[in-house]
A = this chain, B = another copy of it.
């Protein structure tokens, strides 16, 4: 029997998705516990934090684009409420208090720095606390083939009603003077945004702490099941340092949000996709927006932070549970970043990490009740975990209606036969 009241929901996984679900549950007054041996240390720690559904769109992934756009619209309110709950919107920092999540496209092209969020969505306090910015993404091209591909992409996006702007090489360099002289054209997605995922998970941990949500630093060794297979809790492994944690924890519902490791606890078609990512430190910002491009056939992006940090990501490697930082991965990042912005060579290398994205067979996340009573899933976010966090938490905590009902169906665990 689940212990009623004590831990109605147990979230397995303390990455950005699991922590956000726990926070939204706690905020709604539901008892919840998070289980993770090392919260905020996996893919969320590695992630660049691009909130870029438009520039990330590909011809085959219209459903993912719809999910991304819906989640991006939720980001301003999510960020503002999170900053408030985490105690980050101090009196000294202006905070407009107006929380809207209808951001829409109004302010996109014409209002630098606000993008899809419009002008009313998020206060300066939250913006600064989470380093949330919406200055757009510039996708650049070097050769004639790249330029032709950008033209195609621009036409495709316009057909979808997405505001993009085709720029010459000179126009690109006017926006971003540090770009390589060899850049011959670009595509600006002015509504794309980005956030610092490390600040977001820190804020989530602070908010959970303020809401007195228990965080058990232990590894979930398995699910507790009734005879009929229904899930009634989680078995915990003893901590390696000999500390004291309960050996199991019972729950009405277990939410599996363990990213690439989700398949270790239940039948979920999730595989690890390794990404190596580098953080450079600059005395002054080299870029004022996200810049991406394809160099030597590999895709690279540069994300500038408010403090001068420049994130360079990311490799995509199918190597199982391997998180080694390799000479080859680092070489690729450095080579490609240099090609886009030669000035990066002067910057200090502050950090290189490898994370494991939870990939799925159709590149869409797996969100919602599983076929098994007592077990819900919030995993498989692949490259979109940070972007899709507000939508994921909303679907799990509030349920979906209207257009989001359709989106929920796209992410439904039921689309995979093997899930149980």
Task: Answer whether residue A338 sits at the interface, using C-beta atoms and an 8 A cutoff.
Answer: yes
Interface contact B352-A349, CB-CB below 8 Å: yes
Task: Answer whether residue A344 sits at the interface, using C-beta atoms and an 8 A cutoff.
Answer: yes
The SS class assigned to the A binding surface is helix
- Counting chain B CB atoms within 10 Å of each CB, the highest count among A328, A335, A346, A352 belongs to A328
Q: In the complex, what distance in Å separates the CA atom of A331 from the CA atom of B337?
A: 10
Chain B residues contacting A278 (CB-CB under 8 Å) are 327
Q: In the complex, what distance in Å separates the CA atom of A182 from the CA atom of B348?
A: 32
Chain B residues contacting A328 (CB-CB under 8 Å) are 338, 344-346
Task: Answer whether residue A397 sits at the interface, using C-beta atoms and an 8 A cutoff.
Answer: no
Chain B residues contacting A337 (CB-CB under 8 Å) are 327
Closest to A348 in B: B324
Closest to A324 in B: B348
Q: In the complex, what distance in Å separates the CA atom of A89 from the CA atom of B182?
A: 59
Mark interface residues in A43-66 (1 if CB within 8 Å of B CB, else 0).
Answer: 000000000000000000000000
Interface contact B330-A346, CB-CB below 8 Å: no
Chain B residues contacting A347 (CB-CB under 8 Å) are 326-327
Contact of A349 among B330, B344, B345 (CB under 8 A): B330
Mark interface residues in A269-288 (1 if CB within 8 Å of B CB, else 0).
Answer: 00000000010100000000
Task: Answer whether residue A400 sits at the interface, using C-beta atoms and an 8 A cutoff.
Answer: no
Interface contact B344-A335, CB-CB below 8 Å: no
The B-contacting residues of A in range 305-353, CB under 8 angstroms, are 324-328, 330-331, 334-335, 337-338, 344-349, 352
Interface contact B348-A325, CB-CB below 8 Å: yes
- Counting chain B CB atoms within 10 Å of each CB, the highest count among A280, A325, A327, A344 belongs to A327
Beyond the given A326-B345, A331-B335, please list 14 additional residue pairs across the A-B interface where CB-CB is below 8 A: A280-B327, A325-B348, A326-B347, A327-B334, A327-B337, A327-B338, A327-B346, A327-B347, A328-B338, A330-B334, A330-B349, A331-B334, A331-B338, A331-B345
23 A-B interface contacts by CB (under 8 A) = A278-B327, A325-B348, A326-B345, A326-B346, A326-B347, A326-B348, A327-B334, A327-B337, A327-B338, A327-B344, A327-B345, A327-B349, A328-B338, A328-B344, A328-B345, A330-B330, A330-B349, A331-B334, A331-B335, A331-B338, A334-B334, A335-B335, A349-B352
